[in-house]
Amino acid sequence: MNQYPQSVRRKDRQETDNAFLHEMLNNSVSCSIAIEKEGYPLIHVAFYHFDEASNDIVFHFSKHGHAGEEITDGKKASISVYKYGRLYTASKAVDFGCEYQSVILYGKIRVIDDEQERMQAMSDFFDRYFAHIPRSSYEAFTATQAKPIHVAKLRIEQWFGKEHAVPPLATDAFFPDFSAVMEPRDE
């Protein structure tokens, strides 16, 4: 993987500890997946599951549409996971900024074809996000219902972590007035 540098430009913001990577991947909900493609790269946003034991990011997507056509075995991809924090001001506008944490991952895609492995991966997703919902309140999905869903893994070959907190030169720090979490719509 020689196409990308082995470090970030702002060394003061680089995170190299695997604990940072694991913390970010275990405590975030969605990721952006960039897939190599002729012309423009494809970007796909998905829920994911981090499999620490194998160092894989597992995500799902529809077999239909652009993702189903482009997310294929052996294709190179990069994944971005990030969180933002407070915005901050300073005495000079050029020093205004935003807190953030981010991880960029590089690797190759493997689409899971084995039905048992695919259903286990989907169960892992479900357990990660919906384990608190009583199983008696819904009908579990079946392999037939899950047929239109592809599940893929990206084996992490390389990663970059970055973190930027409010610096000492800041004069104020605040969360934006808008929410990054989708609000329910009145229907």
As a whole number of angstroms, the distance between CA 98 and CA 28 comes to 18
Instruction: Report residue 118 as tokens.
Output: 């695919």
Give pLDDT tens digits for 97-148. Answer: 999 999 999 999 999 999 999 999 988 988 889 999 998 999 988 888 888 8
pLDDT of residue 181: 73
End-to-end CA distance of the chain: 49
Locate the DSSP E strands across 7-136.
14-15, 30-35, 42-51, 56-62, 76-89, 97-111
Contact yes or no for 35/78 (Cβ under 8 A): no
Contact yes or no for 80/34 (Cβ under 8 A): yes
- The residues, any chain, with a CB within 8 Å of residue 60's CB and separated by 6 or more, are 46, 47, 121, 122, 125, 149, 150, 151, 152
Contact yes or no for 161/25 (Cβ under 8 A): no
Residue given tokens 């007035």 in the structure block:
177
Give pLDDT tens digits for 50-108. Answer: 999 999 999 988 877 778 888 889 999 999 999 999 999 999 999 999 999 999 999 99
CB < 8 Å & 24+ apart, contacts of 137-142: none
Q: Beta 172-174 vs 97-111: how paired, if at all? A: unpaired
pLDDT value at 7 more than 70: no
pLDDT of residue 1: 47
